[in-house]
């Protein structure tokens, strides 16, 4: 049995820098026609010179793969001149609340102080992607941020806003309330709950931000993805960290899912008799929402089985040591 996907897209991925970038970039580029690249490096990607340098590093690391790195600026207050210079090189701008996740200390403290930049983005048609969490109780951080999404959607009705890596039923419910509001969801939030992370012995390789939530949240996310809700896009939030940063006190947040995304998604959608909707979830919705035409690729998966390695270098992948029924067997450009 085989299954094909046309130009799959990952609308949220981390490829880091240096040796880590060289190791993990091909694992995304070999399967996806394009991916939105997160800008929360140290220092952040918050100027055109650094963005162009970063894109060059990714293009050098992708090898012969047909892959379009969709570059993001790290949100700060930008001038009109800065945005005009950057516009042709960026896919959007990523807003992090200060200190909400990895390398986000330079993020936004008050949304009201950023309104001039939001207005410029709205005028210029630059999408806004948001890590939507407060600094409240960890299980409530996304829910508490939903009022901020509503504020942005109402005040800037022509600004295309993406709620990144949503994890709650409440966020799903908000999707249909504002025309300019969209969302991404990860592979792992479709599958795991907090019980998988900390219900028994703590599993550091399942710890992420936003943290996995309750069963009813996971069920709502999965149901919405399986029907390929037209405002929902796949974004892996694959976030590699070396073992030394995961299996330690002060565990780094993030799952490394890039090598197993497509095989696991096909497995999941097949299990729920929803394979007909997977193309829109992993590509069609994103193309329509953003008016984006990706490079032409065809990815073939077959039920030959994929043995997930215990490690990729010094990074432990999601489902390490497992056998996944589906495997990517061919990619044509």
Q: pLDDT by residue (tens digit) across 110-126?
A: 898 999 999 999 999 99
Residue 323 has pLDDT above 80, yes or no: yes
Residue 143 has pLDDT above 90, yes or no: yes
Mean of pLDDT values over 288-297: 98
| Assigned superfamily of 10-263 | Metal-dependent hydrolases (3.20.20.140)
**Contact of 161 with 126, CB cutoff 8 Å:** no
**Contact of 133 with 153, CB cutoff 8 Å:** no
Residue 234: C-alpha distances to residues 9, 163, 218, 283 (Å): 7, 12, 15, 8
Q: How confident is the model at residue 216 (pLDDT cuts 50, 70, 90)?
A: very high
Residue entry with tokens 């929402």: 289
pLDDT of residue 90: 98
Q: How confident is the model at residue 223 (pLDDT cuts 50, 70, 90)?
A: very high
Average pLDDT, the chain: 96
Q: How confident is the model at residue 97 (pLDDT cuts 50, 70, 90)?
A: confident
Residue 210 preceded by cis peptide, ω within 30: yes
154: phi > 0 → left, psi -120 to 50 → alpha, else beta; which? alpha
126: phi > 0 → left, psi -120 to 50 → alpha, else beta; which? beta
Cα separation of 227 and 281, whole Å? Answer: 8
Residue 101 has pLDDT above 90, yes or no: no
- In sequence order, the 6+-apart residues with CB closer than 8 A to the CB of 156 are 118, 119, 121, 122, 180
**Three-state secondary structure call for residue 120:** helix
pLDDT of residue 289: 98
**Three-state secondary structure call for residue 323:** strand
Q: How confident is the model at residue 233 (pLDDT cuts 50, 70, 90)?
A: very high
- The answer to whether residue 196 is catalytic is no
Sheet with 2-6: list strands edge to edge. 2-6, 298-302, 327-332
**Contact of 331 with 299, CB cutoff 8 Å:** yes
Residue 100 has pLDDT above 80, yes or no: no
Task: Kindly give the pairing relationship between strand 232-234 and strand 128-130.
Answer: unpaired
Convert 147-176 to b/e letters by CB count within 10 Å (16 or more is b): ebbeebbeebeebbbbbbbbbbbbbbebbe
Residue 104 has pLDDT above 90, yes or no: no
Cα separation of 210 and 187, whole Å? Answer: 13
pLDDT of residue 98: 83
Residue 102 has pLDDT above 80, yes or no: no
**Contact of 274 with 310, CB cutoff 8 Å:** no
Planar angle of CA 103, 285, 231, nearest 5 degrees: 75
Residue 85 has pLDDT above 80, yes or no: yes
Residue 300 has pLDDT above 80, yes or no: yes
Q: How confident is the model at residue 325 (pLDDT cuts 50, 70, 90)?
A: very high
Q: pLDDT by residue (tens digit) across 147-205?
A: 999 999 999 999 999 999 999 999 999 999 999 999 999 999 999 999 999 999 999 99
Residue 43 preceded by cis peptide, ω within 30: yes
* Percent of the chain predicted with pLDDT > 90: 95
Q: Which DSSP symbol is given to 43? A: S
Mean of pLDDT values over 241-253: 96
Mean of pLDDT values over 223-248: 98
Mean of pLDDT values over 86-98: 95
Q: pLDDT by residue (tens digit) across 10-48?
A: 999 999 999 999 999 999 999 999 999 999 999 999 999
pLDDT of residue 183: 98
**Contact of 268 with 213, CB cutoff 8 Å:** no
Structure tokens given for 158: 């022509």
Q: How confident is the model at residue 277 (pLDDT cuts 50, 70, 90)?
A: very high
Q: How confident is the model at residue 245 (pLDDT cuts 50, 70, 90)?
A: very high
Catalytic residue among 56, 237, 273, 276: 237
Q: How confident is the model at residue 58 (pLDDT cuts 50, 70, 90)?
A: very high
Residue 106 has pLDDT above 90, yes or no: no
Domain boundaries, the chain: 10-263
Q: How confident is the model at residue 99 (pLDDT cuts 50, 70, 90)?
A: confident
């Amino acid at each position: 049995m085989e299954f094909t996907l046309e130009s799959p897209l990952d609308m949220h991925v981390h490829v880091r820098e240096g040796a880590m970038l060289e190791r993990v970039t091909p694992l995304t580029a070999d399967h996806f026609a394009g991916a939105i690249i997160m800008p929360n490096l140290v220092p952040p990607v918050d100027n055109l010179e650094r963005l162009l340098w970063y894109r060059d590093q990714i293009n050098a690391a992708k090898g012969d793969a047909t892959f379009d790195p969709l570059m993001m600026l790290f949100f700060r207050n930008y001038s009109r001149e800065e945005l005009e210079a950057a516009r042709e090189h960026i896919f959007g701008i990523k807003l992090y609340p200060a200190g909400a996740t990895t390398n986000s200390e330079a993020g936004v403290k008050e949304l009201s102080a950023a309104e001039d930049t939001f207005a410029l983005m709205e005028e210029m048609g630059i999408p806004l992607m948001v890590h939507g969490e407060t600094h409240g109780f960890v299980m409530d951080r996304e829910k508490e941020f939903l009022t901020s999404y509503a504020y942005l959607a109402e005040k800037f009705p022509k600004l295309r806003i993406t709620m990144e890596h949503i994890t709650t039923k409440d966020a799903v419910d908000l999707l249909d309330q504002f025309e300019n509001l969209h969302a991404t969801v990860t592979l792992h939030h479709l599958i795991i709950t907090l019980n998988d992370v900390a219900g028994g012995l703590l599993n550091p390789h399942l710890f992420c931000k936003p943290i996995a939530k309750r069963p009813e949240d996971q069920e709502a996310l999965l149901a919405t993805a399986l029907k390929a809700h037209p405002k929902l896009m796949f974004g892996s939030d694959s976030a590699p960290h070396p073992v030394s940063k995961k299996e330690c006190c002060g565990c780094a947040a993030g799952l490394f899912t890039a090598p197993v995304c497509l095989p696991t998604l096909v497995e999941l959608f097949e299990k729920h008799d929803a394979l007909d909707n997977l193309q829109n979830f992993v590509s069609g919705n994103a193309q329509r929402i953003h008016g984006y035409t990706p490079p032409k690729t065809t990815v073939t998966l077959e039920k030959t089985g994929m043995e997930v390695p215990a490690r990729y270098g010094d990074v432990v992948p999601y489902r390490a040591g497992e056998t996944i029924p589906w495997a990517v067997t061919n990619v044509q450009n």
